[in-house]
Amino acid sequence: MAVKAIRAALARGFRVTTNTTLFEGSNPERMRRFFDDMMELGVEGMMVSPGYSYEKAPDQEHFLRRERSHRLFGQMLGEPKRSWSFNQSPLFLQFLMGKRDFECTPWGNPTYNIFGWQRPCYLLQDGYAKSFRELMKRRNGRGTAARAATRAARTAWCTVGSSRARSARHSNRHGRWARPSPAW
């Protein structure tokens, strides 16, 4: 059904990307075939991420732990095909494979939606602020050390520190990056 929808969207001129969350039991070879299939269909770019655990989730056993995540993504992305196009930073893909480590910067990407300004971290359900001023006023109240450690262990969509990103600006070993590379 999804393939049919992708074909229909592409036939109507829409840009199509995928966003895949992987959990325990994911097969790296099957994912590599999935990447090939998506590129053959004409998908513009793909995003991948492990399913990160959070306290309120009813099913805790299927989340990928850090070591397992590194193994899985290392097998999937270790020898990338040039045809693969990811809508993600190569730095993040290297992070998933365990080749890089970053500090979480939960305030690096403020997001606004119909509920207001999202407080980090969405996995920890910190809620929303009614105004940007309120969001920034509370930015130093990141919570306990345990919560900070939890955030760092789950770094997924956190912003990569710009000084570290600049040092790896030419690192694009994981297929094509669908978006134009930033001018560093």
Query: Domain map of the chain by residue range?
Result: 1-102+160-184, 103-159
Separation CA 19–CA 25 (nearest Å): 18
3-state secondary structure of 171: coil
Provide the percentage of residues in the chain whose pLDDT is more than 90.
Answer: 43
More confident residue, 129 or 111: 129
* 105 torsion bin: left (phi>0), alpha (psi -120 to 50), beta (else): beta
Neighbours of 169 (CB within 10 A): 13
**Among 61-70, 95-104, 122-131, the least confident range:** 122-131
Q: What is the pLDDT of residue 60?
A: 84
pTM metric for this prediction: 0.68
